[in-house]
Structure 1
Amino acid sequence: MLAISRSQLGLFFILLCPTNIIGLWWAVGSPLVMDPNSICRKTKRLAGRQAELCQTEPEIINEVAKGAKLGVRECQYQFRYRRWNCTSHNKYFGKILQQDIRETAFVYAITSAGVTYAVTQACSMGELLQCGCEATRSRAPPVPTTLGGGADGSAWEWGGCGDDVEFGYEKSKQFMDAKRKKGKSDIRTLIDLHNNEAGRLAVKNYMRTECKCHGLSGSCTLRTCWKKMPHFREVGDRLLEKFNGAFKVMGGNDGKTLIPVGQNIKPPDKQDLIYSADSPDFCLANRKTGSLGTRGRVCNSTAMDTSGCDLLCCGRGYREETVILEENCSCRFHWCCVVQCKKCTIRKDLNLCL
């Protein structure tokens, strides 16, 4: 078997992908290349603003890598029961990113959202010198979404440590939106930029208000409120909804606009995902399209959704197999501070696609 180093694998993804930075992020975010500095080692391949970040704010790049990894995990969770399950552990993944399909749209959006989220979170945790908690002096009075409504006449004020999502948004935009071709637009670039923005807005537009009561004897004479990001699982759920309702588009004659395909279809807004080519069915392995196929995938024989054997196995049928697994059981906590478990062997019946 041919031995390939981790750095070679990272470079392989970069060369495969039409937009260098996405290939880089997915190489960094997966077990292929775990070192965040791998991004900046390839600065000759990065666009100007990306290379500038590497040189002037390397600590931001660490958060970029964390955000990419966050996006990987969420993509794999959201697609765990689909024919394409967002695996990044194979040489076929670059082929997916070369196509303007729905799946690529989700990859761009969830990665952009992940970077926005990670950078913003680092600001709130005090891990970056360039940012901190959100400035609230110019913000309008809070309208809390937690701890009651405020009809009791109690006072409100902004305080605590709100998430500075604007900073995370701008850094994600700076790093992800560096165009491949200076001064030139094409349909692929327009689609990528649109989906990047949709991912960022899935975080920015859904900030929630959290509050804490202050007062004697449990009273709430004053509430301090701050803005927090939604849980990233909510971001993934929202983008999956956009994936299911994604718009197919084509380029306008001016080369600067995107037109929805079909009659009487409203133009997509900034939060929608868009694509220009139909996805393969992902039923059979196909090196050209990047499909691994679904042979051997675990399916649910009673489910009617995408995890059901009929859909996941593409009508080929499935076989039943019993596997023996070893799990921790009878766990007990011993003071202080050890948890001791026994090893139990269990039999599990699985349905595997033919």
Structure 2
Amino acid sequence: MLCSPHHNLRTLVVGFASYVAVPALCVLYMLTGNEPLSILPLNSLPEENVGRAHYKLCDRLKLEKKQRRMCRRDPGVAETLREAITMSALECQYQFRFERWNCTLEGRHRANILKRGFKETAFLYAISSAGLTHAMAKACSAGRMERCTCDEAPDLENRKAWQWGGCGDNLKYANKFVKDFLGKRSNKDLRARVDMHNTNVGMKVIKAGVETTCKCHGVSGSCTVQTCWRQLLPFHEIGKQLKQRYETSIKVGSSTNEQQQQQQPVPGLNDQIPRTMDLLHIEDSPSFCRPSKYSSGTAARKCYKDKNCDAICCGRGHNTQSREVTRPCQCQVRWCCYVECKQCTQREEVYTCKG
């Protein structure tokens, strides 16, 4: 399916059963849908059907025709898609746990955010593409895929003190897969261009975080030869970097190219020139303080008195509740192989935002 600015595009969500119309990329997935997140269970088919278990999982993902074909041709793809959405959702919620918008993924709120061009929209596109790229590269090196294996890094020459080996994360295959899976872009709509830009930022952050890991070989612990391979950063670090880019996201407007009649992203009121690694947004975000079509507000949200209660509670103040909690304490390691702890009860104060 080719993209058109006049096509009523549908946003795909891995593991969900419905779509939401969004005038953006031709094919999307993961955190960009209108249904509550539900993680598909593992081993959902009887053992006798295990050879084609991924067919059923691919069908449950409600993929486009091309995506379903890509999913079915390798048994590892379906599980990698499921893993990617889980990883992206959890990381998004972790990074925004102290914010007014805490990456609530309830379908209606998320769908309404995705119809707009907020900073939060930009983050969802970036974390989704980053999650799939990371999960696919790791799946290749872990041997869970039939169509890819380790990254052999043919573009890097062997050096005198070390040799290329090990099993690197296959970022080259992952990038190609993600681009094919998402489909072709539409260049004539500003919103589509911004969404594609933010999607690419997620993939570029993954690429920029590739590290070379080495293992020594030699007699008596010496390091005569090193075997080295390329490895991705932990996804938690990727989420941290994308959150930093969210904080510095650049607001852009549009300028029409007279020759190509295409809307080009241009700097907004802050006159910053967008760079390839900057997240972009089109409009200012709502406050997320009160219930709206974008969030449930912050009433009754847990906060931390000396850290973020003033900000999260939007100046409404907070309630303080005292409760007793029992936790393991005074733990000691006993020979040989277990830890012995006492149970200690203490009172703690819990702070929640007033309505």
Deviations 1:88-134 (A, max 9, x none): 14532221222111001101101111101111111111110111111
**Of residues 193, 205, 208 in structure 2, which corresponds to 1:190?**
193
Alpha-carbon distance in 2 for matches of 1:298, 1:83: 11
TM-aligned CA distance change 1:177 to 1:336, over 3 Å: farther
Structure 2: gaps spanning 5 or more residues: 1-12, 42-53
Structure 2 counterpart of 1:347, which letter?
R
Match of 2:218 among 215, 220, 229: 215
Instruction: Summarize deviations over 1:216-247 as a string: whole Å, max 9, x none.
Output: 12221111111100111111111111101111
Q: Is the 8 A contact 2:31 2:89 kept in 1?
A: no
Q: CA offsets per residue over residues 276-324 of structure 1, 9 Å max, x none?
A: 011000000112xx12111111222222xxxx22111111111211133
Counterpart amino acid of residue 78 in structure 1: Q
Aligned partner (choices 258, 266, 286) of residue 259 of structure 1: 266
Aligned partners of 1:50 and 1:178 also within 8 Å: no
Q: Does 1:297 align with 2:301?
A: yes
Q: Distance in 1 between matches of 2:278 and 2:219?
A: 47
Structure 1, gaps ≥5 residues long: 1-6, 143-153
Query: The residue matched to 1:92 in structure 2 has which SS?
Result: helix
When residues 34 and 41 of structure 1 are mapped into structure 2, their CA distance, relative to the original with a 3 A threshold, is closer
4+ runs deviating over 6 angstroms: 27-30, 330-342
1:43-82 per-residue CA deviation (whole Å, 9 max, x = no partner) reads: 5x62x54243134345313212211110101100100000
C-alpha deviation, 1:15, in angstroms: 2.9
The answer for the alignment partner of 1:128 in structure 2 is 145
Q: Counterpart of 2:323 in 1: which secondary structure?
A: strand
- Which residue is 2:45 aligned to? none
Hey, what does 1:145 align to over in structure 2? none
1:71 matched residue in structure 2: 88
From 246, 249, 254, the counterpart of 2:252: 249
Indicate if the aligned counterparts of 2:130 and 2:203 stay in contact, CA closer than 8 A. yes
**Cα RMSD (Å):** 3.0
Matched, 1:352 2:352: yes
Partners of 1:115 and 1:172 within 8 A in 2: yes
Tell me the amino acid that sits aligned with residue 300 of structure 2.
G
1:1-150 superposed matches below 5 A: 10-12=16-18, 14-15=19-20, 22=28, 25=31, 31-34=37-40, 40-41=59-60, 43=62, 46=64, 49-57=66-74, 59-89=76-106, 91-141=108-158
Aligned residue number for residue 235 of structure 2: 232
State, as a whole percentage, how many aligned pairs show the same letter: 33
Question: What code does the residue aligned with 1:190 have?
Answer: R
Query: Counterpart in 2 of 1:176?
Result: 182
Q: Give the counterpart letter for 2:101 in structure 1.
A: W
Counterpart contact for 1:28–1:68, Cα < 8 Å: no
User: In structure 2, how many angstroms separate the alpha carbons of the residues matched to 1:205 and 1:332?
Assistant: 43
> Does the Cα contact within 8 Å between 2:152 and 2:165 map onto a contact in 1?
no
Deviation at 1:340, TM superposition (A): 7.2
Residues 177 and 193 of structure 1 are in contact (CA less than 8 Å); yes or no, is this contact kept in structure 2?
no
Classify 1:94/1:339 alpha carbon distance in 2 versus 1 (closer, same or farther; 3 Å): farther
* AA at the equivalent of 2:310: D
What's the CA shift for 1:40? 3.5
Measure, in 1, the Cα distance between the counterparts of 2:164 and 2:138.
Answer: 19
Change in Cα spacing, 1:263 to 1:199, as seen in structure 2 (3 Å) is closer
- Indicate the SS of the match to 2:17: helix
Give distance in 1, aligned partners of 2:306 and 2:282. Answer: 34
> Match of 2:275, SS?
coil
